[in-house]
Amino acid sequence: MKKIKLETTVTLYENYSSFSETEKLLFTKAKAACHSAYAPYSKFYVGAAVLLENGVILQGNNQENAAYPSGLCAERVALFYASATYPNIAVQAIAVTVFYNGKDLEDIVSPCGACRQVMAEYEHKSGKPITLYLLSANQQVCRIDSVKDTLPFLFTADILKASEGN
């Protein structure tokens, strides 16, 4: 038996002051998207904003449905919209924030596993890391430099290609 130690490095910021104007705009758009999410059942409103390499910022938010599995998370809405609208432009960054039951959350909330896997797909597709910003209501930011750092055993197309020979 062999044990493997996995480490992830994230950077925590106490406020937005050290970020560029583009990053601050990305954060503002994620928060705006959050407040217009459709979440009447869970009251868990999530907003995401995606920064593309061409400088375009697109928004997405969670969309719930009375048949719960039929809804979709904010991160996937934003990423699928970006890919449908700009299929050949790489995603540079994504910012995510949460509003719950009428209140902005003080805590940073991480994307679900399905969203991480979708982010990993777009990171793999472009061959470039996607910076992930997780935002709290009081302007704290968790910056993760690559989706790989959020999903250490990610499933990629390389695994499918490697399996073809078997």
Q: Give the angle subtended at the CA of 104 by the CAs of 56 and 37, to the nearest 5°.
A: 50
Buried b (16+ CB within 10 A) or exposed e, 73-102: bbbbbbbeebbeebeeebbbbbbbbbbbee
**Beta carbons of 26 and 93 less than 8 angstroms apart:** yes
> CA 51, CA 42: separation in Å to the nearest integer?
27
Catalytically annotated residue among 23, 64, 75, 123: 75
The answer to whether residue 75 is catalytic is yes
Q: Structure tokens of 14?
A: 């106490």
> CA 94, CA 26: separation in Å to the nearest integer?
8
Q: Active-site positions?
A: 75
